[in-house]
Amino acid sequence: MPIFSVTQGSLTLAGLSAFLSQHHHHHHQQQQQQIFATTDHASPFFTITSPLFIPPSRTRRSTNNITAKFSDSANAKAENSSETATTTATDEVLEPSPDALRQARRSADWKAVKAYYDGGHILQGRVEGFNGGGLIVRFYSLVGFLPFPLLSPSHSCKDPQKTIHEIAKDLTGLLISVKVIHAEEENRKLIFSEKEAVWSKFSKGINVGEIFAGRVGSVEDYGAFIHMRFPDGLYHLTGLVHVSEVSWDLVQDVRDILNVGDEVTVKIIDIDQGKSRITLSIKQLEEDPLLETLDKVIPQDGSIAPDPLSMHNSITIEPLPGLESIFQELTREDGIDDIRISRQGFEKRVVSQDLQLWLSNAPPINRKFTLLARAGRQVQEIQLTTTLDQGGIKKALQRVLERVP
């Protein structure tokens, strides 16, 4: 609405009518013009700073009741200006409905969630409750789902006696760090993972070859999942010990060796950042017996039945099934002059029923090099007389194994 100010005096009805008539015919001249009106006081005037508009209903009032008085008081001006502004705002401003506000807020929150997802960033969500499968997590106006398997292992390891639902009840009302792993606004599907958030925080600080204390979280046919304990005492990451990395012995069922809750020591042998996977080993913390000489494979402590034989009478030792044809092919290789079984023994454990051949870590000494052959519990030490170095022996053996069916 136009604003005008009066500096002095009061305006009579006759003056007001004259002004309106003049304003109607000379509208374009009134924006910068000073208008003087007749008053009952000396030197009356008021100044128009913009076109004046008065609704017709206000100009048709009785002359007996209308006298527009303009006080030089600052309070009167302020009240008149405030009333005018309020009338204008009421006529022109439309308040959005609550539903529109809620929809705008949800739309903005979905955009934020997608930005977190695209950037792989961690956000804070509040646990509002849980159901049979996981936690209900709120992010501003949105509610998402966090499946129990995607919780950090630190919760279950902190108090192993609690059930998953007891853990969920303890988490209700708390803020947790999560990552968005699925966001679908059209179907209102929002899925969080605490494991992914923990991986982002701790995986960069571990390396292949490091050794961790751990606790068995679950056991499957193919191996065991181990929760790894960090220096702060919490179990932040989980890795897999494949069945082949549990023991040097032949393992038919992982459950025969490992059970949920067992405390173990593991070694990191692989980290896949792209798939958020850690591969662990238990057996590699022990010395590989097949890469050692027969003295270490079968300690002479009376607990086993060693059968040491000299090279002169080693012909009395019957080679393990399949060894004889390998010997025949090895003698055809350049640089290998003689092959003999020097001694054999029997172990209490079974590593494999199949024939296995292993090279000794030690280089040839006086043209003598050692091979180990193992099948079932039986182990035989084989002496090669050769001019080849360790690399040459390995290549010769590879060529032989390709020829032997």
CB of 236 within 8 A of CB of 154? yes
* pLDDT given for residue 40 in this prediction: 40
Residue among 327, 307, 329 at smallest CA distance from 316: 307
Residue 109 backbone dihedrals phi, psi, to 5 degrees: -70, -35
In this structure, are strands 277-281 and 235-242 parallel, antiparallel, or unpaired?
A: parallel
Tell me the C-alpha distance between 319 and 90, whole Å.
105
Name every residue whose Cβ is closer than 8 Å to that of residue 397 and which is 6 or more positions away in sequence.
Answer: 330, 357, 359, 371
How far apart CA 136 and CA 282 sit, in angstroms, is: 37
pLDDT at position 292 is 54
Fill in the amino acid letter for 261: G
Main-chain phi, psi angles of 229, to 5 degrees: -90, 130
For residues 4-20, b (16+ Cβ closer than 10 Å) or e, as one string?
bebeebbbbbebbeebe
Burial label, 53 (beta-carbon count in 10 A; 0-12, 13-18, 19+): exposed
Burial class of 266 by CB neighbour count within 10 A (0 to 12, 13 to 18, 19+): buried
pTM over cut 0.75: no
Dist CA 6 CA 54 (whole Å)? 16
- The span from the CA of 337 to the CA of 364, in Å, is 13
- The one-letter code for the residue type at 63 is T
Say which amino acid occupies 200. Answer: S
Q: Would you call 376 helix, strand, or coil by DSSP?
A: strand
Radius of gyration of the CA atoms of the chain, in A: 46
Q: Which amino acid is at 315?
A: I
Write out the H or E segment, with its range, that includes residue 281: strand 277-281
Closest to 154 in 3D by CA, of 167, 165, 143: 167
Q: Residue 297: what pLDDT? A: 55
Written as one string, the DSSP assignment of 98-132 is HHHHHHHHHHHHHHHHHHHHHHT-EEEEEEEEE-S
Across the chain, which has 405 residues, the per-10-residue mean pLDDT values are 38 45 46 38 35 40 40 47 49 72 89 93 94 94 95 91 93 95 92 95 93 94 94 93 86 90 94 93 79 54 40 63 90 91 78 77 80 85 88 87 85
Task: Tell me which H or E stretch contains 53.
Answer: none
Q: Residue 10: what pLDDT?
A: 40
The span from the CA of 283 to the CA of 288, in Å, is 8
Cα–Cα distance, 177 to 175 (Å, whole number): 7
Residue 198: exposure state from Cβ atoms within 10 A (0-12, 13-18, ≥19): buried
Task: Please give the Cα distance from 217 to 234 (Å, whole number).
Answer: 14
Please report which helix (H) or strand (E) contains residue 323, including its range: helix 323-330
Sign of the dihedral through C-alpha 87, 88, 90, 91: positive
Q: Where are the beta strands (DSSP E) in 140-257?
A: 142-147, 175-184, 189-193, 211-220, 223-229, 235-242
Give the integer Cα–Cα distance in Å for 293 and 300.
12
Q: Do 1 and 58 form a contact (C-beta atoms < 8 A)?
A: no
